[in-house]
Amino acid sequence: MTTAPTPVPAPAAADPSGGPGAPGTATAPPTARPRAGRRPRGGAWLATVPLLAFFLVGFGLPAVAILTGAFTVSSDAETGAGSFTTANLTDSVQGAYWTALLSSLKLSALTALIGTVLGVPVAQAVLTSRFRLLREAVLTASGVLANFGGLPLAFAFVATLGNAGELTKLFHLTDHGWSLYSFTGLTVTYLYFLVPLMVLTITPALEGLRLQWREAARNNRATTLQYWRYVALPVLFPSLLGGFVLLFGSAFAAYATAAAMVGATVPLISRQIADALSGNVLVGQGNLALALSLDMIVVAALVMAVYLPLQRRSARWLS
Amino acid sequence: MAQLISRLRLWRGAVLLLAGLYFLVPMAASVWFSVDDVDGISFDAYTGLLSAPGFTDSLVLTLELAAVTVVVLLLLLVPAMIAVRLGAPRLRPVLEVVCTLPLVVPPVALTAGLIGVLRWGPDHLMDTPFFQTFVFVQQPEFPLVLVVAYVLMALPLAHRALDSGLRAVDVRTLVEAARNCGASWPRAVLSVVVPNLRGALLNAAFLTLALVLGEFTTASILGYQPFAVWIYSVGNSRGQMSVAVSVLSLLITWVLLLLLAAAGRERRHKTATA
């Protein structure tokens, strides 16, 4: 940027002799090179074209399909196929679909709340530990476990707490009314990847708490509780809320774990969409899956609208 | 004071112990479940994997999908991100929006949208050359439509990984230095910038790989059978084998991540001593 006025003989001089070193001279004709400078002028945006084109086709077309599909009568309807309607959307927030949406929201909110409340002490305990190896091990493990969603997670929990699971057999849990294939069971399972996700998210924020703040609080005779109540938690609040929202979003979007584990016993919106996509709907409701998807996107968009500003804000605070 | 410290240690120990129990017991129970047999310990679930019907096919399909996804993703994203830093800063917000939007659409919803698009083929485009494209992206031997979905899902992850890598190096100075030495544009980027991003590229590739290996939603709804869907179908008939595969997949992720961490540490060490 600042080098423009400096006379640099290299590019022009090196060009004829440096042939083997510069096989890609096709980008600029030799005569134009000294002036072409060291920055691409105008040409740089060309490198973003493939990505944007891919995105427009791969993401834009499905988005259009959802938007238009959610508002049109499906082709399997008896009358008025292709015409505008809001019936899909009103159907998607009624009856069994409304129950599923509420149940999804409830599960996501509950697991995100528990995950936040449990994740912070774990992260704090790990951070303040004297053993560096333990810290690194836990952070690496959190990275693995936070990505350990989906099927393997479901199978691991079926093997542990399912009807024939090892712990269930060992403690005769079924006699005490335990069932993994329930709302509670799903909550316990989801926490297995949500707590590590929270540990990963909150660790930078906890690292940003200065020791001096704690010392200052103690010098003013604040108790540990008061320090957390009046100093640490207010500073951490944006990060905590951001973490909660991130957990909520992950739990809300999850599909595979619930599909493999509980089947239809716990109604979830993601499962309803999958069901509707495989044709499991009434005649004329062919576009219902798209309307349900739109519902889900609206919720996820609200979540992101809260999360992104918070993330930016906490990043500024703790740098 | 001493009392406070010992109380703190007690509290920390209790938290770590409980967390350790919650996270280790399911793993131990899964391992035990997969080798537990009526007459002692048996590794049949593991040894039987290779001969299980569909195992090799689905694994090969998943690995192919993963490789193509990683290559396509990096080829699309890396040039765009470098270009935005070097010469087109005004496109930066656009790029960020593009790499954030997939987060707003859950995989199930994305799949619904893709199915909506794929339905246009037989519905409206039967007589046009576009129809062949629709058939081509859905061929069961190598469903390109899955690559499209996976690239979109991995965009936010890979963008974040590459962005932190790009932040750590001064791309502009590096390129200017290379240009001053007479390097052409492609050469400056390929042999100066990209090697400096090795860690970030590796990270992005790994995250994408992990995503594709475990992806179930899109593939199962669209009706293809990569590895995760195969595990699911096996789980219905042979529970022990599906748990064995889960244990293996966790182990593989673990090893890959440790390798990555080790590579990162070595690099940091090298730059610190240099």
Task: Tell me the pLDDT tens digit for each residue of B123-147.
Answer: 776 677 777 777 777 887 889 999 9
* List of residues 6+ apart from B270 with CB closer than 8 A: none
* pLDDT value at residue A146: 80
What is d(CA A113, CA A217) in angstroms, rounded to the nearest whole number? 28
Backbone Cα Rg of chain B: 24
Q: Which residues of A touch B22 (CB under 8 A)?
A: 191-192, 195
User: CB of A282 within 8 Å of any CB in chain B?
Assistant: no
For an interface test with A, the pick among B84, B133, B184 (most A C-beta atoms closer than 10 Å) comes out as B184
Q: Which residues of A touch B181 (CB under 8 A)?
A: 10, 14
Q: Which of A251, A250, A252, A296 is nearest to A273 (CA)?
A: A296
**Count of C-beta atoms within a 10 Å radius of residue A63:** 21
Q: Which residues of B touch A161 (CB under 8 A)?
A: 26
Q: What is the DSSP string of B45-96?
A: HHHTTTTSTTHHHHHHHHHHHHHHHHHHHHHHHHHHHHHHHHT-GGGHHHHH
* pLDDT value at residue B138: 80
Record the pTM: 0.81
Contact B111, B149 (CB under 8 A): yes
* pLDDT value at residue B245: 86
Q: Where do the domains of chain A lie, and which CATH numbers do they carry? A: 107-268+291-317 (1.10.3720.10)
For B40-58, the pLDDT digits (tens) are: 777 877 888 877 888 888 8
Which position has the token pair 């697991």?
Answer: A111
Q: How confident is the model at residue A315 (pLDDT cuts 50, 70, 90)?
A: low
Q: Which of B225, B76, B73, B74 is nearest to B149 (CA)?
A: B73
Average pLDDT over residues B163-168: 87
CB pairs < 8 Å spanning A and B: 281
Q: Which residues of B touch A159 (CB under 8 A)?
A: 26, 29-30, 33-34, 239, 243, 246
ipTM exceeding cut-off 0.90 for this assembly: no
* List of residues 6+ apart from B144 with CB closer than 8 A: B136, B137, B138
Q: Which amino acid is at B152?
A: L
Mean pLDDT of chain A: 79
Average pLDDT over residues B29-34: 89
What is d(CA B130, CA B132) in angstroms, rounded to the nearest whole number? 5
Is residue A244 classed as helix, strand or coil in its secondary structure? Answer: helix
Position A175 pLDDT exceeds 90: no
Phi, psi of A72 (to 5 degrees): -120, 155
* pLDDT value at residue A103: 92
* pLDDT value at residue B1: 58
Position A1 pLDDT exceeds 50: no
* pLDDT value at residue B171: 87
* pLDDT value at residue A316: 60
What is d(CA B58, CA B47) in angstroms, rounded to the nearest whole number? 17
Q: Which residues of A touch B185 (CB under 8 A)?
A: 24, 27-28, 40
Q: Which amino acid is at A118?
A: L
Measure CB to CB from residue A151 to each of B88, B182, B231 and give the nearest one.
B231
* Least Cα separation, residue A135 to chain B (angstroms): 11
What percentage of chain A reaches a pLDDT higher than 90? 24
Is residue B182 classed as helix, strand or coil in its secondary structure? Answer: coil
User: CB of A101 within 8 Å of any CB in chain B?
Assistant: no
Position A281 pLDDT exceeds 80: no
* Least Cα separation, residue B132 to chain A (angstroms): 16
* List of residues 6+ apart from A135 with CB closer than 8 A: A126, A127, A129
Bridge partner residues of B54 (DSSP): none
* Least Cα separation, residue A126 to chain B (angstroms): 7
Chain B 7-46, residues with CB within 8 Å of chain A CB atoms:
8, 11-12, 15-16, 19, 22-23, 25-27, 29-30, 32-34, 36
Q: How confident is the model at residue A5 (pLDDT cuts 50, 70, 90)?
A: very low
Q: Which residues of B touch A293 (CB under 8 A)?
A: 108-109, 112-113
* pLDDT value at residue B269: 57
- Which of A72-81, A256-265, A284-293, B96-105 bottoms out in mean pLDDT, i.e. has the lowest? A72-81
What is d(CA A317, CA B13) in angstroms, rounded to the nearest whole number? 30
For A104-156, the pLDDT digits (tens) are: 999 999 999 999 999 999 998 888 887 888 888 888 788 778 877 778 888 88
* List of residues 6+ apart from A181 with CB closer than 8 A: A162, A261, A262, A263, A265, A266
Q: How confident is the model at residue B92 (pLDDT cuts 50, 70, 90)?
A: confident
Average pLDDT over residues B195-223: 87
Largest Cα–Cα separation, chain B: 83
Q: Where do the domains of chain B lie, and which CATH numbers do they carry? A: 56-273 (1.10.3720.10)
Q: Which of B61-65, B190-194, B214-218 has the highest mean pLDDT?
A: B61-65
Bridge partner residues of A84 (DSSP): A72
- Say if strands B40-41 and B36-37 run parallel, antiparallel, or are unpaired: antiparallel
